[in-house]
Amino acid sequence: MNVREPAHQVSPRARHLWLLHSLVGFVLLAGGSFLLARWIGRSEWGWVPEWFAGSWWVLPALVVVISLPLLVAEPFVRYAVHRWELAGDVVYARSGFLTREWVFVPVSRIQTVDKSQGWFERMLRLATLEIRTASHAGSSTVKGLDHQVAAALADELARRAEELRDDAT
């Protein structure tokens, strides 16, 4: 089965958001590996190989060499993949970095629509839209939307869901 691509990309500023998130994780990982390697290299433990005690910098160097390409590639790959669309009475979203996820949420099943912003998102004028149904598997999250687009989409989804519920009664 060939599923077509959703019509709308997330905001181009989402690349900056994902890069900031990656940088924070990278700094914590590289800093932690540096501190750990330094501590192990200075210890007098018998289980630490002698070559490591003299070359403690190998661990943080490996962490940097392995994680830096992922850090650089991730925002661009995620931006190319993350898309969304409100087509008829279905919200269609695609996301992922290492794995891909396609989610179709019927508007008639929507129970709540939440718009949230972390402080990096506020700084970049972005928002995350969380569409919840009674089933966790039927729920969806669209990250990296422009704040105004997310607000308009949340209002439109809430309005359509309400209309469909009123029609059912």
Last residue of a domain, one of 78, 109, 129: 78
Clarify whether residues 128 and 86 are in a common domain. Answer: yes
Clarify whether residues 125 and 160 are in a common domain. Answer: yes
* pLDDT tier at 54, thresholds 50, 70, 90: confident
DSSP string, 108-129: GGEEEEEEE--HHHHHHTEEEE
Domain that holds residue 55: 9-78
Instruction: Report how far apart, in Å, the C-alpha atoms of 98 and of each of 55, 72, 138, 141 are.
Output: 33, 14, 21, 17
The residues, any chain, with a CB within 8 Å of residue 71's CB and separated by 6 or more, are: 19, 22, 23, 26
Convert the pLDDT of each residue in 84-105 to its tens digit: 999 888 899 999 888 888 888 8
CATH number of the domain within which 107 lies: 2.30.29.30
Clarify whether residues 102 and 32 are in a common domain. Answer: no
* pLDDT tier at 77, thresholds 50, 70, 90: very high
3-state secondary structure of 55: coil
Clarify whether residues 53 and 71 are in a common domain. Answer: yes
Clarify whether residues 86 and 145 are in a common domain. Answer: yes
**40 domain-assigned:** yes
Clarify whether residues 136 and 107 are in a common domain. Answer: yes
For residues 76 and 40, which has the higher predicted lDDT (pLDDT)?
76
Q: How many domains does the chain have?
A: 2
Looking at residues 101-119, what average pLDDT do you find?
90
Last residue of a domain, one of 57, 78, 99: 78
Convert the pLDDT of each residue in 119-160 to its tens digit: 999 999 999 999 998 877 778 899 999 999 999 999 999 888
3-state secondary structure of 98: coil
Determine the Cα–Cα distance for residues 29 and 39; give it in Å rounded to an integer. Answer: 15
Determine the Cα–Cα distance for residues 140 and 83; give it in Å rounded to an integer. Answer: 12
Clarify whether residues 125 and 164 are in a common domain. Answer: yes
Determine the Cα–Cα distance for residues 150 and 139; give it in Å rounded to an integer. Answer: 16
Last residue of a domain, one of 34, 57, 78: 78
Determine the Cα–Cα distance for residues 98 and 70; give it in Å rounded to an integer. Answer: 10
